[in-house]
Each structure stands twice: as C-alpha cells, then as structure tokens.
Amino acid sequence: MSLTRRNFLALSSVAAGSSALSTYSFAQLGRDYYPSDAALPTLPEAEFLEAADLTALDGDEQSLLVTLQGLVNRRRPRLYFYWGTDATNKTWLDTIHVPNRTTTDPWEFIPRYRSEVRGAVVYDPNLPDTVNLATSIASLHGGVIATSELAKRFNLEVLDDLRGRFTSGLAAYQWAFDHLWPQMSDRILTAIRPANTVTVANVPWTMLLQESRPIHDASNKATYTLDLSSLLSGEAVYLRFQDAVPSDGWGPSVSQVTMSADGNTIASFQPGGAAEQPYLFDAGGSQTATGWRFADGNNYFIYRFTPPAGTKQLTLAVTMWNEFLVTGTSTAPSVQQANANFRDYIVATKAPVFWLDPEVPAEAALFAQILQRAKPDTPYLGWFPLGHEMTGVTLCGQHGSPVVAADFFINASVFAGVRAHIDSRITHPPVPKIENKIYLTMTMVEGDNIQYNQHRMRDMWDDAGRGLVPLNWSISVLLLDIAPGILRYYQRTRTKNDLLMAGPSGAGYTYPAVWPAADLEQFAKRTGIYMQRTGMDTLFAYNRDNSTDLPLSAEIVDRYKRNVPNLLGIVYNYEPQSQVSFVDGVPLATLLGVNDLASGKTALAQLGAAWDGKSPLFVAAGLESWNMLPTDAKALADSLGSEFEIVRGDTFLQMLRATQG
C-alpha cells in the first residue's frame, strides 16, 4: 500500500514495549544496512519526516530531543531537526525530496514517541564528559540523555544517574572502555565534544595579578602567591588566566598550581595531566606542552576550586611566566550545556563515543588503547579536542583508522536513510592538444570533511560563480553510506566545469605514510571500491607525519594504483609551490596553497613572470575552502595572462600522462 502521512504515523506510534526496547540491537536492522564491506552503517529508508526548529532551546534540551531522534530513527528515520544560524540545515530538508511536515513545537515529540523510550540517563553537569558516557548507556538501553531537571519535567524514569560517579573525564572513558563498549558496535568509533561553554553575562571579575611587560623568554618565571580569601562568598572560586598583551602572542604559561584552605592543601597539580582535569573548568582555546599550559592571544583558561565549608583563608601558589593576567570571581562565569551535534547517529548505531586529547599523555594512552582494540580500517567519526588535528589523524593512522570529520554534521540518522541513485559512470571532456602554455587546475580542499560537505560546500556550490571556470571539488566518498542524498545532489547539479574528486585521502581522511603496511592495503582497497561506486578516478591526498609534510612514496602510490581502477593521478598536500612528478607511471602534483584571492593573484602572477615560455608548465593549486568561493576562483582566473589555461583536474592529469607518451 502507499504510505500516507496518516497511516505512517499510525504505524510509528505502535508501542514496542520496554522489554523489546531493552533487547533491540542495531544488528537486527539486518545486513542490508551494514554489509561487511560497508565503511559506515546506513539506516532503513526515510519515507516521511517530521521536522522542527530547535534554535530556541538550550543545548541540554536539544540533546534530549536529538537522542530521542536517534532512538526513533534507528527503526525508521522519522524526525529531522535543525538549529543555529546555518541555513543549510533547512535547505537540505527541501532538497532531499522526502515528504515532510514542520511543527512549531518540538516538545510534541516526547508524548508522540514516548512508547519508544524507556527513560533517561542523567549526566553530571559538573563533569561534561558524562554527556558522552550517558549517550552510550542510553543507546544500549533505549533511553535519552537529560539533566535531572529535564527528566523530572517530562516524567522520565531515570535509567542511570551519573552525578558524582566519576572524578574525571578520563576515569569515565576508562570505565566505559572496560565495561560498556564491549557491548556496543565494533565497526565505528565516534568522538564528539560532550558539551559547549555558554558564557554568563555580567560576571564581576577581580584583578589579582598582572605582568604586562613584553616578556617572551620566561625571565619572570616564579612561584606567585595570592590571597583569595575575598572570593569565598560563593560555592566555588574561579581563576582565569589570560594573555596580558594579546597582540604579541606570549601569554601566561603555568607549570604548577597549589591551592590551600586554612593551611591545608586541597589541590596540587601540573597542567596537562589527569590531576588537572577535576579543576579545569574551561580550557578556552589554551594548549598544553609537557608539564605546562599556556594561553596566547585571545585564548584563556579557567580553573574551578571548591573550598571546604567554613574556609577562612584561601591561598594560591602558581608557578608562571611571560605576559599574564590573572582574575578571579566567585560567580560561575559560564555553564556547560550538552552538545547535540551528531548524537542522533551515535545513538542510532550504538557507537562508542569519547573525547580524548591526543596531545595529553594520559588521554593519548587510552586513545591508543581504544584504537588498538578496534579492527583495522575502523572509521573514527568526529574530531579532536582543541583542534589537535594533525596529532589526532597521525595517531589514528598509526593504528589503521581513517578519520571522518563529522563534529558539526546534523541529522545523520536521517541522511543515512535517504535513498538516492549514485551515478558511478565516469566521463571526461576531450583532452586538448598540449601547447606552450601554463596549464592550471584548481582544487577546493577540505572534501574529506562530511560536515563541510553538508554546510560550507553547499553554500559554495550555490555561489553564482560556480561553473564559470573549471574547478575540482574534493568530496568524501563515504557520503555513499552516510548521506547519499547529499552526494547525489552534487552529482545531479554539477556543470561541465565541476569535477568531483575523492579525498583527502580516499575512504576517509588520513596520512598514508603512518599506516601499518597491511592495514594500508585494506584501506586502499576500500578507497578503490568507493571511488568506483561514486564515479571518481582522481584523488586528493594529504601525506604527513604529525605536522611534517611528506612526499608520496612509490609504495603508497602503488597501493592506490593497484586498488583504484583506472586511477588518473593524485594531487596532494598544500605547499608553497606546485611540483609535478611521476611514480610508476602515475602523475602526481603537489598543490600550491592559495589562502585567499589576493595572495593567489600574487603567487600566480609571480609564477607567470618566472616562466621561460620554452615548454608547457603544469601547476596545481589548492584553494582554501573556508576563505574562497567559486566567484573568487573566477576572479583569480580573470587576473591571469593569456599564457595560462585553466583545466579540470581529470584533463590536467591526462595531459600530464600524455607528456610521458
């Protein structure tokens, strides 16, 4: 029968019963939704969606509803939520061609789907990482996550209460690793920031200590003692460390913190380790080195201390240097609210979720344990604390896990159930005769990033300048699983000047040089399968070890060559200049990094002026996708002299092949 909205809602409201919910597993969706050769799980087909705008809700309220969405959509995608200032969330709802209705009251879904929810797992607002732990427990037991207040408001049975259970996020994740995750999906790993910081307005800060002289050499390193007794009027004391001279980037560096109450030590730690975690209230963009924390420019960090009741004298001793500004308050300067992003897909797929910093030794050790226990080529979906991208991608690669940047991906539990025909055909424009010119190809970078594919790339794609000049668009081939409707939209609406290029660096973001050889072979095979299924034969790659760019070795190129059918060639890295080469007959080109239109014009004008005009010159440019639009690519093209000819990446690589006979 045809599925109308009326009979669809009738079917969706059938009570499952708490015993069925408690034993329901993702595996029961069937192998059709997660076959053994698939990188990411899909979900049953979305046939009708009910949508709501959650912008007016706070993060805790959004997260309750988004975990409800994960439970509901696990059986069949039915709920679609959007929020924030990014209009693409609503745009995609109008693009994917799934019948839908929008409600003005998202809370109507609580009673609507109450029969599919066993209760709530309450997280600890004083330990944000318990948001992730609560998500894991809720996904296993058919629950949502909530604050205790929200659980009471909606009369939800408390399945588990995590308040006061753990002393640190590391302890919570270690417990989950030991006791919880063995029951969960072993096919993917996820890593999402557990909570977001929301600033409280009009907090009064007291200036305690300042060093505003231009000191960059730690010559003022000392242990400074502060009397904080005047701040004992509240439940806690908050200390903020900032850069006293933000313009020069030499802010406070702290290597030891000791807090005493009436002469008794209540806290003593070196930053960067597990001992610091119970007191680090807000990292504020600060960073750690071995044994110390620093905050340059507009970054900061805040510690929170809770003195014993009745404390009369509170004293801080802090070892610190460079340009610092220390202020204090007894008023909570911000609150932590649960981060709803991507949490629906985590619940729907019963995926382990954590948030560990690869640059904090204790956290990196557990991070490595998690990766070691995972099977080779297990995708890691999410991102890394404090933007520690290169360290994190390197660590994942060393253990055979590709990264899928998904930290701002919205409604994955819907998009994974949207069916779309993906065109696997590959066609190329005619290859022109090679003349004495500078042949330029331009590639939009960032394509491995699925939240970029969903948001920023859609804005760029809708730019009026698209299609006016040849342009390569790197894109994730894993959209085939998690969002085929998004991939199909780009296929369907591309012009003859738009080339969809896989990567970086294939079936997930990774640095091939750091992979174990056997695992890299498996990754290359999956890359070949997904490129073939998505109609791509050109590849963009990054090859690094942490922050050091590396050339593509013959071993790496050969793995791609033998596993990617008809691979035309590879563009890679993001460097001060473009160089072309051949490895085993495969053309390679490093990307000339173009950060913005002005610097791009300068770099290409200099390149044109230096060209001797005696033979063809091939140049590949990478355009910084967060700063540039197709309109900028057109303006860049218009600035070039007649010696330049702009071509698509496939034409560029075929022409390179032709130069080798």
Q: Could you state, in order of their start, the residue ranges of all structural domains in the chain? A: 5-21+47-197+337-415, 206-332, 438-659
State residue 11's pLDDT score: 29
State residue 163's pLDDT score: 97
Query: Helices 389-398 & 361-373, crossing angle to 10 degrees?
Result: 40
Angstrom CA distances, 173 to 134, 355, 398, stand at 11, 8, 21
Cβ atoms of 447 and 539 within 8 Å: the answer is no
Cβ atoms of 345 and 199 within 8 Å: the answer is no
For 609, phi then psi, to 5°, come to -70, -30
Angle at the Cα of 112 (from 18 to 485), degrees rounded to 5?
Answer: 100
Strands 617-623 and 586-594: parallel
CATH architecture of 206-332: Sandwich (2.60)
* CA atoms of 253 and 325, how far apart (whole Å): 11
**Which CATH code is given to the segment(s) 438-659?**
3.20.20.490
Residue 657 one-letter amino acid:
R
- What are the tens digits of pLDDT across the range 381-418? 999 998 899 999 999 999 999 999 999 999 999 999 99
Three-class DSSP labels, 491-524: HHHCCCCEEEEECCCCCCECCHHHCCHHHHHHHH
State residue 32's pLDDT score: 62
Cβ atoms of 611 and 500 within 8 Å: the answer is no
- Say which residue the tokens 């750690």 belong to: 288
Angstrom CA distances, 3 to 9, 48, 50, 98, 476, stand at 10, 9, 14, 12, 33
pLDDT < 50 positions in the chain: 1-30
* CA atoms of 150 and 161, how far apart (whole Å): 13
* CA atoms of 123 and 158, how far apart (whole Å): 11
State residue 274's pLDDT score: 80
State residue 398's pLDDT score: 98
* CA atoms of 415 and 419, how far apart (whole Å): 8
- CB proximity list for 417: less than 8 A, separation 6 or greater: 42, 43, 44, 45, 46, 73, 76, 77
Cβ atoms of 434 and 659 within 8 Å: the answer is yes
Cβ atoms of 374 and 230 within 8 Å: the answer is no
Do domains 206-332 and 438-659 share one topology? The answer is no
Residue 463 one-letter amino acid:
D
Give the dihedral sign, CA 167/391/504/494: positive
State residue 28's pLDDT score: 45
C-alpha of 336 from chain center = 19
